[in-house]
């Protein structure tokens, strides 16, 4: 068997995969290898090597060079450019795009790769969770000095919840950029909210590692602007949850108002299409009213309405 010859090196798994795929479409078998030991985070010095049989080396090199130049200088699409749309959406351009690639790599991709050069994003999720918690805590400390520790803790828990992160990730179409194994891909991994939330945390870590605390703070402030504005307006977790009854109670307690009560004001429609009309009262005064297909749904909507009315009156 002839010797293997390295004909391409890169720190990017995505780029290495593109090169291997390109060569294999021309009938040249290629191997991706990495001699570096696994570490919690990728380093720019880590290089993946694409190697081919010695007799294929010259032709493989020509194929790669022709691929770089085939569309002319004005139209060349560099390897790794598939992540540029995500960079535009988040408003941050990576100096080391390998960090972004690492953040998007699910463990299913690692399990299906034999090269040893692929790293999953689980350690970055851990870091991203910590960075997000710190930045959000700092923001809430500055934004809500009138709130006690318990109230700020509840706000923080709601803001950084998996549900909130999944929603933000979906707005970015983050699932489209996840690097998944074939099995996870076939089972609809790109649409799984848990994977999107995890990837979002890892994305935060990637921005922090690449640009530092100022860069990640700017990213978080942009991403969470709408949620924080709602929190400024209501001062409760209603911006991040559908439990408006609990949110209303917390708002009233924080403003030293009485506890809310609910009463059924009426029922509308035939038995099979019944709708319920519920009012919410504070100190005997109706502050919200809504209809729903169940008493529970109507009460939640009435509480939401009450929150909107009360917050506007402050």
> Is the pLDDT assigned to residue 59 strictly greater than 50?
yes
The 8-class DSSP code of residue 105 comes to B
Domains of the chain and any CATH numbers: 4-79 (3.30.70.790), 122-233 (1.10.1520.10), 242-312 (3.30.160.20)
Catalytic site includes residue 242? no
Residue 267 has pLDDT above 70, yes or no: yes
Beta strand residue intervals within 168-303, DSSP E: 260-268, 275-282, 285-292
pLDDT at 314: 63
Measuring CA to CA, how many Å separate 153 from each of 23, 26, 87, 245? 54, 58, 31, 18
Confidence of residue 249 (pLDDT cuts 50, 70, 90): confident
Ramachandran angles phi, psi of 281, nearest 5°: -120, 145
First to last CA, the chain: 80
CA dihedral (286, 292, 293, 299) in degrees, to 10, reads -50
What percent of the chain has pLDDT above 70? 84
At 264 the pLDDT is 95
pLDDT exceeds 50 at position 76: no
Q: Exactly one of 87, 96, 129, 308 is catalytic; which is it?
A: 129
Instruction: Report angle CA 22, 27, 29 to the nearest 5 degrees.
Output: 75
* Helix and strand counts by DSSP (H, E) for the chain: 13, 6
Residue 98 scores a pLDDT above 60: yes
Distance CA 170, CA 180 (A): 17
42 has pLDDT over 50: no
Per-residue pLDDT tens digits for 130-178 = 999 999 999 999 888 888 888 788 788 878 888 889 889 999 999 999 9
pLDDT band at 237 (very low <50, low <70, confident <90, very high): very low
Contact, 300 vs 242, CB < 8 A?
yes
Looking at residue 270, what is its pLDDT? 80
Residue 129 annotated among the catalytic residues of the structure: yes
d(CA 28, CA 302): 66
pLDDT of residue 80: 54
Rounded alpha-carbon distances, angstroms, from residue 307 to 86, 154, 230, 231 = 36, 17, 11, 11
User: How many CB atoms lie under 10 A from the CB of residue 133?
Assistant: 14
Please give the mean pLDDT across all residues of the chain: 82
pLDDT, average across residues 66-84: 52
Paired tokens of 186: 């076939």
Which residue would you say has higher pLDDT here, 77 or 274? 274
Which residues pair with residue 53 across a beta bridge?
Answer: 4
CA–CA separation, 277 vs 117, rounded Å?
Answer: 60
> Quick check: 92 and 219 in contact, CB under 8 A?
yes
CA–CA dist 103, 129 (Å, integer): 13
Residue in 201, 210, 279, 301 annotated catalytic: 201
């Amino acid at each position: 068997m002839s010797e293997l010859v390295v004909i391409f090196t890169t720190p990017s798994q995505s780029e290495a995969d593109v090169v291997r795929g390109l060569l294999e479409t021309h009938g040249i078998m290629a191997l991706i290898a990495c001699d570096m030991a696994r570490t919690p985070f990728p380093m720019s010095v880590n290089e993946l090597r694409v190697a081919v049989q010695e007799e294929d080396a010259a032709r493989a090199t020509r194929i790669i060079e022709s691929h770089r130049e085939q569309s002319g200088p004005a139209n060349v699409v560099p390897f790794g450019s598939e992540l540029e749309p995500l960079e535009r959406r988040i408003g941050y351009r990576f100096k080391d795009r390998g960090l972004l690639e690492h953040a998007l790599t699910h463990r299913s991709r690692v399990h299906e790769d034999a090269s040893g050069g692929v790293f999953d994003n689980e350690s970055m999720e851990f870091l991203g969770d910590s960075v997000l918690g710190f930045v959000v805590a700092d923001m809430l400390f500055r934004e809500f000095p009138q709130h006690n520790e318990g109230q700020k803790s509840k706000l923080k828990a709601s803001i950084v919840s998996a549900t909130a992160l999944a929603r933000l990730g979906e707005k970015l179409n983050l699932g489209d950029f996840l690097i998944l194994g074939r099995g996870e891909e076939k089972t609809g991994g790109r649409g799984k909210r848990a994977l999107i939330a995890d990837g979002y945390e890892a994305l935060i870590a990637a921005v922090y590692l690449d640009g530092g605390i100022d860069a990640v703070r700017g990213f978080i402030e942009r991403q969470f602007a709408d949620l924080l504005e709602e929190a400024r307006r209501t001062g409760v977790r209603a911006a991040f949850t559908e439990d408006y009854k609990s949110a209303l109670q917390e708002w009233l307690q924080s403003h030293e108002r009485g506890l809310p009560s609910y009463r059924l004001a009426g029922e509308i429609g035939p038995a099979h299409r019944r709708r319920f009309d519920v009012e919410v009262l504070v100190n005997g005064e109706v502050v919200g009213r809504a209809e729903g297909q169940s008493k529970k749904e109507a009460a939640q909507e009435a509480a939401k309405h009450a929150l909107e009315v009360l917050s506007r009156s402050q």
